[in-house]
Amino acid sequence: MERLQRMLKFSCGFIAVVLVVTMLSGTSAMASEGSDGDYVVGDGDSLMISVWGEKELSGTVTVRPDGKITLPAIGDVIASGFTPTKLSEDLAEKLAKVVNKPIVTVTVNTVTNNKIYVFGGGVPSGVAVLPSRTTLLQFLIRYGNFKGIDLGNAYLLRNGKKMDVDFHSLLVKGDVAKDVPLKPEDMIYIPDNEAYKIYVMGAVANPKYVFYRDGLRILDAIIETGGFTKFAKENDVLIVRKEGTSTTEISAKVKDLMKEGDMTQNVHLKPGDFVIVKESIF
């Protein structure tokens, strides 16, 4: 009877250990898992290696630039390129030479392998390091101002292939069903939209283009380009508008607008307009 009780205690203990290991393995995968696969360990990542019942073989390690980690008893092991689950299996196989039936869990503590690349004329190009489980929408919200970008031609590149992602539905319509989890080495292309530029030139402090937005008026555009210079003919501002094959010229007396409050002179602008502030010789 006593022997049976010992066997039952051992069986219950073993089942509990298996359950804990299974849950920990699931947690490590979920820590950086997307909807289409587990996180892949990379250089610089911090990993917690747990070998049940073997404290001297357990501990925190960092993946070196050569993609390897070093563990007691087995030495250097390649970690980069493995998912946490696969790495656990590989370590268990290697440790089996020195430990009887080892149970190994790999948990990702910190991620430095989660780099993505952003490029295109609509945003500053660069490299971003993301926390695990970051989606495209979360990244775009963090990244900054996206006015004037061409959402229709933006795309996500993964392993050299374009992903089926509708940036317009995601950002403008708020259709979160179009959201996708990002993966290390993803590339996001975000071009600018030439059609949404308004060019302000002539006697303003900082001639340049500004991006169209709903409700943009001529005074807004002049303010955004630094205001008039001292030589500006403030009542002789010309808006050149191309619509199809025709060109329309609209005059605006901005001085009357500012001095006398004549709001009829605060013309609504349209994408592609040219605002020309004429200059006085004297």
CATH 3.10.560.10 domain position(s) in the chain = 115-189, 195-279
Lowest average pLDDT, out of 19-33, 65-79, 216-230, 256-270, goes to: 19-33
pLDDT average, residue stretch 104-132: 81
- Going by the DSSP 8-state scheme, the letter that residue 228 receives in this structure is B
Instruction: Please tell me the pTM assigned to this model.
Output: 0.49
- Whose structure tokens read 């004037």? 148
pLDDT average, residue stretch 68-85: 90
Q: Which fold has domain 45-110?
A: wza like fold (3.30.1950)
How many angstroms separate the CA atoms of 194 and 201, rounded? 16
How many angstroms separate the CA atoms of 13 and 31, rounded? 27
Greatest C-alpha distance within the chain: 113
Residue 47 is encoded by which pair of tokens?
A: 């990993």
Q: What percent of the chain has pLDDT above 70?
A: 83
Judge whether residue 98 has pLDDT over 90: no
What does pLDDT average to over the chain?
Answer: 81
How many angstroms separate the CA atoms of 107 and 262, rounded? 67
Q: Which fold has domain 195-279?
A: Outer membrane lipoprotein wza fold like (3.10.560)
pLDDT average, residue stretch 274-280: 93
* pLDDT on residue 86: 93
CA angle 144-147-149, nearest 5°?
100
Q: Which fold has domain 115-189?
A: Outer membrane lipoprotein wza fold like (3.10.560)
CATH 3.30.1950.10 domain position(s) in the chain = 45-110
